[in-house]
Structure 1
Amino acid sequence: MQTISNRSSGAIGEIFGREKALIGMIHCPPFPGSPRYRGATMDSLYDACLRDAEALVAGGMHGLVVENHGDIPFSKPEDIGPETPAFLSVVTDRVKRATGVPVGINVLANAPLPAIATAVAGGADFVRVNQWANAYVANEGFMEGRAGEALRYRSLLRAEKVRIFADAHVKHGSHAIVADRSVTELTRDLAFFDADCVIATGQRTGHAASSDEIDEIAAATHLPVLVGSGVTEDNIVAILSRTNGVIVASSLKVGGVWWNPVEPERVKRFVERAIAGL
């Protein structure tokens, strides 16, 4: 494989202190300003996030991602108001103080600048960006990679310690606009544009990435690779044998659906299965 980036391959070890990381997702409830918000107090919203965070960490997860998943339908990056990173920053700070584990930020949809601002304000360690390079057609419309703009903003904030976890062949959209380029080439573009980790996903939230696509992505990059959707206690061992970790959400929730709270017994079983396979 031709080397196209001198970016370090050690982000997982440097952030989590281990070779493979189990990262739990906190799907925040709808925040004020979003269509599904129905007047809940801010304390009740923050407490719901903290309960999920504490259940995930108590069950053995190594890190967390805070995400505004309750804000469906998501806005395009230029339409996201200042209230979203403000609320997420408070959640992140409280989660970080309560758990002490590494935390990442994902601002939907595809908003790395608000995510970086949130990470700096809340003390997070990394951001997840669904489309870092190139472009695709998402549920929200046409989405461009914003790596150049985001890295300049990160530099402006003197926040180089905030790492970039970027999706390859991101879910919830069509890649027809780059269909003349392989998943291998799209993955290599992430390293070329200074991402720190690559995330493989399925077609939508809760959908598993195929083993063939995981292997293709892993073969295309020197960066750590994680799987970011569809991870369950049934496939975690196989996935960890191919990757440097996972970001998991739906399968750890009551009933296995993303909008429910985290179920501690599911977390315990998942971590036990993962550890047994390491």
Structure 2
Amino acid sequence: MKWLDLFGRLKCVVIGMIHVKALPGSPLGCLKMSQIIEEACWEASVYCNAGLDGVIVENMHDVPYSLSPGPEVSACMTSVCVAVRNVCPSIPVGVQILSAANQQALAVALASGAHFIRAEGFVFSHVADEGLVHACAGELLRYRKSVGAEDILVLTDIKKKHSSHALTSDVSVAETARAAEFFLSDGLILTGKSTGAQADPKELTDVRRAVSLPVLVGSGVTHDNVDRYLGASGFIVGSHFKSGGSWSNALNVKCVNNFMTKMRRLRESE
């Protein structure tokens, strides 16, 4: 019901990634907060003008990621999210803080008025390039309850990209999805093996059959392959909207508009 409250019955919700420039304190950080916020707001305005259904604000440029980001990250991300909310007051805004800083993301969402977070490591531990990420569902949802943030959706990655899942090689993606549903996830995110890599359409079918939750495709969706994923509840698109298809490049306005033109045509044909 939370998903319906936020997005209604819109088919194939499109959520655009706002890859926030490197924040103060991160190895690549070199910009003032005013510059970082200005860039994020410009991306938000492009997405809103193109008719996207939501955005996610993520500290993607803070490489290498830490499993315990400092308080300055939460403070800076709150400032960015407040500004993005002001630019796009009519669409849902989400937050992701790398790496696996899910409680911090909830705190930022609560303080900024954002609507959902993208959470890593919700069920089943895995080995990420940042280190061992432990399952967090119990602690995360208790934290959400304790701070009165129950209206904020927790959308959860399963068999997350950039990770080794050898620890759970005997657990299928469908079984992982069922576990996340049992542990009260508000929606599931299926990805390829890395940022920009295509998700497996068969896995999408398997997960959709296994759960009643919304299932989003969280990587690799493009103008040319979106037809393969029309069974999904939504798409999280980042790399495809950037020049050259690389997440670290500037947003390509033409690419964003072309994608949404096709999405409107696909929705109308249903």
Q: TM-score range by the shorter chain?
A: over 0.9
Alignment partner of 1:85 is 2:77? no
Quick one: which amino acid aligns to residue 73 of structure 1?
P
Matched positions, count: 265
Deviations 1:90-118 (A, max 9, x none): 11111011111100111111111000000
Partner of 1:14: 5
Partner of 2:33: 42
Partner of 1:130: 120
Alignment of 1:190-201 (within 5 A): 190-201=180-191
Structure 2 CA distance for aligned equivalents of residues 207 and 243 of structure 1: 17
Instruction: Please report how far the alpha carbon of residue 157 of structure 1 lies from its aligned counterpart in structure 2 after TM superposition.
Output: 0.8
Partner of 1:219: 209
CA contact (8 A) 1:135 1:143 kept: yes
Quick one: which amino acid aligns to residue 205 of structure 2?
D
Alignment partner of 1:243 is 2:243? no
Pairing partner for 2:157 from 167, 174, 180: 167
Instruction: Please report how far the alpha carbon of residue 184 of structure 1 lies from its aligned counterpart in structure 2 after TM superposition.
Output: 1.3
Structure 1 CA distance for aligned equivalents of residues 248 and 174 of structure 2: 33
Structure 2 CA distance for aligned equivalents of residues 156 and 257 of structure 1: 39
Partner of 2:59: 68
Partner of 1:260: 249
SS of the equivalent of 1:246 reads: strand
Quick one: which amino acid aligns to residue 262 of structure 2?
R
Instruction: Please report how far the alpha carbon of residue 50 of structure 1 lies from its aligned counterpart in structure 2 after TM superposition.
Output: 0.6
Structure 2 CA distance for aligned equivalents of residues 200 and 182 of structure 1: 13
Structure 1 CA distance for aligned equivalents of residues 17 and 194 of structure 2: 15
CA contact (8 A) 1:104 1:126 kept: yes
Instruction: Please report how far the alpha carbon of residue 181 of structure 1 lies from its aligned counterpart in structure 2 after TM superposition.
Output: 1.4
Return 5+ residue gaps in structure 1 as ranges. 1-9
Partner of 1:27: 19
Structure 1 CA distance for aligned equivalents of residues 246 and 2 of structure 2: 30
Return 26-35 or 14-23, whichever deviates more: 14-23
Structure 1 CA distance for aligned equivalents of residues 10 and 2 of structure 2: 9
Instruction: Please report how far the alpha carbon of residue 11 of structure 1 lies from its aligned counterpart in structure 2 after TM superposition.
Output: 3.4
Alignment partner of 1:157 is 2:155? no
Structure 2 CA distance for aligned equivalents of residues 25 and 231 of structure 1: 12
Pairing partner for 1:94 from 60, 83, 86: 83
CA contact (8 A) 1:56 1:262 kept: no
CA contact (8 A) 2:219 2:237 kept: yes
SS of the equivalent of 2:61 reads: helix
SS of the equivalent of 1:64 reads: strand
Instruction: Please report how far the alpha carbon of residue 192 of structure 1 lies from its aligned counterpart in structure 2 after TM superposition.
Output: 0.9
Structure 1 CA distance for aligned equivalents of residues 157 and 208 of structure 2: 12
Instruction: Please report how far the alpha carbon of residue 180 of structure 1 lies from its aligned counterpart in structure 2 after TM superposition.
Output: 1.5
Structure 1 CA distance for aligned equivalents of residues 54 and 173 of structure 2: 28
Quick one: which amino acid aligns to residue 31 of structure 1?
L
Pairing partner for 2:48 from 45, 53, 57: 57
Identity within the alignment, %? 38
Structure 2 CA distance for aligned equivalents of residues 233 and 167 of structure 1: 23
CA contact (8 A) 2:2 2:151 kept: no
Structure 2 CA distance for aligned equivalents of residues 228 and 104 of structure 1: 13
**Larger RCO: Structure 1 or Structure 2 (Cα < 8 Å, ≥ 6 residues apart)?**
1
Structure 1 CA distance for aligned equivalents of residues 225 and 51 of structure 2: 18
Task: Return structure 1 stretches of 4+ with deviation > 6 angstroms.
Answer: none
Alignment partner of 1:144 is 2:134? yes
